[in-house]
Amino acid sequence: MGFGAAGGWSRRPSVVAIGREVAPIAPELTMSREFKPGSTRVGWIGTGVMGTSMCGHVLAAGYETTVYNRSASKLASLVEKGAKAAKSPREVAEASDVVFTIVGYPSDVRAVALGPGGTLEGAKPGSVLVDMTTSEPALAVEIADAAKAKGVDSVDAPVSGGDIGAKEARLSIMVGGEADVVASLRPLFETMGKTIVHQGGPGSGQHTKMVNQILIASGMIGVCEALLYGYKAGLDLTTVLQSVGSGAAGSWSLNNLGPRMIAGNFDPGFYVEHFLKDMGIALAESRRMKLALPGLALAEQLYRAVEAQGLGRNGTHALMLALARLSSVEWTTSSARP
């Protein structure tokens, strides 16, 4: 079952994970358990752009893994590496000590965790559900409460780093849940991420991800507008990036997505339609907290224009195409390299 040798109650400090450091906080009565290759069975639900790579790292670390995806064809590469395919989320949970989910929308999270044939129906007492989808903080709390009633733990752990971070196992993982449970999951998180930080109780990981998405939303406007300006000024954008990418204006979006824009490559690392979902959650939370966030609202409207132009399945950097059209600029691979 993936529990420690003692398999009982023990007195030990809770922990907060900070980067790759573990800092103790107040001691409490916790269930001693240890998740490790060879004894822990992992379930994985959702094998899209991010999930396939993330689950692949878990498999490579030696964990016995059961996988499920609504489109079964997307399981093929993981099954070839040794994963077992299941027919439902419940079947995954029945075969697992820890179940990870990374799906599209809060409605998907709800259906997978709480719906008929969902993970909570199949989860055994002492097992853990880990949702890595960017979802609603209130839903994370609801799932945690429902899980607790069954003797199951639930953690929300959304990620940042895009498809590159997922492939290279250097994601930032923002975790909400009970401190001892988060600590026990650390070996699994470390297979897919470099920065693993416990943010607080259930829902805290999702709130932190909203902070992340608000930062990206307004930042992407600046990145796209700056490169559009450079193009119209007749500059070589590749050399422009060499100058500004390492200075105060440098950012992950500029240095990782800027070259893709210049190359005319708008394939998704993260879908526009999913980013719109995230901004919608952040705007709803801001209204609940009576916060005025005009920068976020502007970004959401600009991304609505991207979606309206038929680019919802492109990467978030496709914002460049919508902004270029506002100024009647045709942004192509050749035109981005004057």
Question: Which tokens go with 124?
Answer: 């055994």
pLDDT at residue 306 in the model: 97
- C-alpha span between 319 and 322 (Å, rounded): 5
Question: Which tokens go with 53?
Answer: 């790579």
- pTM of the shown model: 0.86
Exposed/middle/buried for 192, CB within 10 Å: 0-12, 13-18, 19+?
A: buried
Q: What is the pLDDT of residues 164-221, one digit of tens each?
A: 999 999 999 999 999 999 999 999 999 999 999 999 999 999 999 999 999 999 999 9
Residue among 124, 148, 209, 232 flagged as catalytic: 209
> Which residue, chain included where needed, has tokens 């988060």?
182
- C-alpha span between 209 and 174 (Å, rounded): 7
How much is the average pLDDT of 247-267? 95
209 is an active site residue: yes
| Domain segments of the chain as ranges | 9-201, 207-326
- C-alpha span between 268 and 93 (Å, rounded): 30
At the fourth CATH level, the homologous superfamily of domain 207-326 is: N-(1-d-carboxylethyl)-l-norvaline Dehydrogenase; domain 2 (1.10.1040.10)
pLDDT at residue 32 in the model: 55
For residue 269, pLDDT over 80 is answered with: yes
Whether 47 and 65 have beta carbons less than 8 Å apart is answered as no
Topology of domain 9-201, CATH: Rossmann fold (3.40.50)
